[in-house]
């Protein structure tokens, strides 16, 4: 992909992915890789920041003799995800009109 993903867009994508279900780090990376080029080393600092901002909560679940750390979106995170969604729809529409010359729906 030739377009860079900024911090706000990455935050929005992480929160959107977690709106459907809780996920552990590797699982979340795989979910995001369906749309973005992202590595686990890029994702974990984002997860820590979102947790610090109280958009995510973390809990551990045992799995094959060790713990997996799961991430869950909080109520505050749900509100932020909706805010990001509205901002994305506006931004996407403006960029589509510019690049596609008004042909965007």
Query: Tens digit of pLDDT for each residue in 20-74?
Result: 999 999 999 999 999 998 888 889 999 999 999 999 999 999 999 999 999 999 9
24: which residues sit within 8 A by CB, 6+ positions away? 68, 69, 70, 71
Domain hosting residue 12, numbered range: 7-96
CB atoms within 10 A of CB 59: 11
What token pair was written down for 72?
């869950």
Domain count, the chain: 1
Residues 6+ apart with CB under 8 A from 8: 84
Q: What's the CATH code of the domain at 28?
A: 1.10.10.10
* pLDDT in the model for residue 24: 96
Output the pLDDT for position 50. 98
Is position 105 within any domain? no
Q: Is residue 60 part of a domain?
A: yes
Q: Is residue 102 part of a domain?
A: no
pLDDT, position 6 = 86
Could you tell me if residue 12 is inside a domain? yes
Whether residue 24 lies inside any domain: the answer is yes
């Amino acid at each position: 992909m030739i377009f860079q993903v900024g911090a706000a867009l990455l935050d929005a994508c992480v929160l959107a992915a977690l709106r459907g279900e809780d996920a552990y780090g590797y699982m979340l990376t795989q979910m995001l890789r369906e749309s973005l080029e992202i590595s686990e080393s890029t994702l974990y600092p984002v997860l820590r920041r979102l947790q610090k901002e109280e958009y995510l909560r973390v809990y551990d679940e045992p799995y094959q003799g060790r713990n997996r750390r799961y991430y869950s979106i909080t109520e505050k995170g749900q509100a932020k995800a909706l805010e990001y969604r509205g901002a994305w729809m506006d931004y996407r529409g403006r960029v589509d009109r510019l690049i596609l010359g008004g042909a965007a729906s």
